[in-house]
Amino acid sequence: MPQPADWDPDRYRRFEMQRTQPAIDLLSRVPNATASLVVDLGCGPGNSTELLVRRFPEARVVGLDSSPAMVATARQRLPQCDFMVQDLAAWQPENAPDVLFANAVLQWLPDHARLLPILLCHLAPGGTLAVQMPDNLDAPSHRAMRAVAQEGPWAARLQAATAARTVLPLLERYYDLLAAEAVSVEVWRTTYHHPLPSAAAILDMLRSTGLRPFLDPLDADEQSAFLALYESKLDKAYPVRADGGRLLGFERIFLVATRA
């Protein structure tokens, strides 16, 4: 069986503008005026970390990611920061951060009822946990992924792919998880509508993230067949707009909680 590939920073950064805007929106709601230690959980290639450096220029900023390739890219981008390869599910800080920032990463980790309160308690008093997660498993793009997985000769091998991402609870549930230990909690939902030139561009944007669990178990020929069938479904699901392009709706949820 093919081994899971590492994340591809170059492919991920092709759509850096679309991926960074939610991080900008999340950071705008972090109330802390200053910070000594800021940790970027799931820092990727450093696009979200760069925002944190600009917002907190006096802070020590640390980036953590499970991907060696992403960490290497982030180190080149921001050599003044500390980046480490880290399993986020097992991470514990040596010192209490003032800000924990998690942009589009916690959806890959299970058991949020346990995880979110633990992250909040890692913070220094008055510290803020800021989380953004895609909540698009019911979007046409992701329904099409599951349909292709079930229709092809790879169906048995891809049964686990649909469980790679956590099904997110309701926003009210997240509020209750955090409110007991926080002085303030904000939760909200935003749907971004990304103009993209083609169904192939939609596929390319999703290939570096949501498609990975479906592609990793397949060999090169199977991946090509999977992607061809998937693109045909995207072509039907996202009709041509007035300018000749497509419009990808991408729903995300946001959580900002400040510890007492």
Instruction: Render each residue's pLDDT in the chain as its tens digit; 260 residues.
Output: 444 566 566 666 677 788 899 999 999 999 999 999 999 999 999 999 999 999 999 999 999 999 999 999 999 999 999 999 999 999 999 999 999 999 999 999 999 999 999 999 999 999 999 999 999 999 999 999 999 999 999 999 999 998 888 899 999 999 999 998 899 999 999 999 999 999 999 999 999 889 999 999 999 999 999 999 999 999 999 999 999 999 999 999 999 999 99
At 201, phi and psi to the nearest 5?
-70, -40
Q: Which domains does the chain have, with CATH numbers?
A: 9-259 (3.40.50.150)
CA 67/CA 6 separation, integer angstroms: 6
Residue 163: per-residue pLDDT: 82
Residue 1: per-residue pLDDT: 43
Residue 249: per-residue pLDDT: 97
CA 248/CA 202 separation, integer angstroms: 7
Six token digits for residue 79: 């050599």
At 98, phi and psi to the nearest 5?
-85, -30
At 155, phi and psi to the nearest 5?
-55, -45
| Helices (H), ranges, the chain | 9-13, 16-27, 47-55, 68-77, 112-122, 140-151, 171-179, 199-207, 212-215, 220-237
Report CA dihedral (146, 152, 157, 159) to the nearest 10 degrees.
30
Query: Residue 181: which residues within 8 A CB-CB, separation 6 or more?
Result: 117, 120, 121, 259, 260
Residue 117: per-residue pLDDT: 96
Residue 65: per-residue pLDDT: 96
Six token digits for residue 5: 């590939």
Six token digits for residue 219: 């060999």
- Residue at 177: amino acid letter: L
Could you tell me if 81 and 74 are in contact, meaning their C-beta atoms sit under 8 angstroms apart? yes
pTM score of the predicted model: 0.92
Six token digits for residue 119: 């992250």
Six token digits for residue 255: 């959580």
CA 209/CA 220 separation, integer angstroms: 18
Query: Residue 17: which residues within 8 A CB-CB, separation 6 or more?
Result: none
CA 36/CA 59 separation, integer angstroms: 4
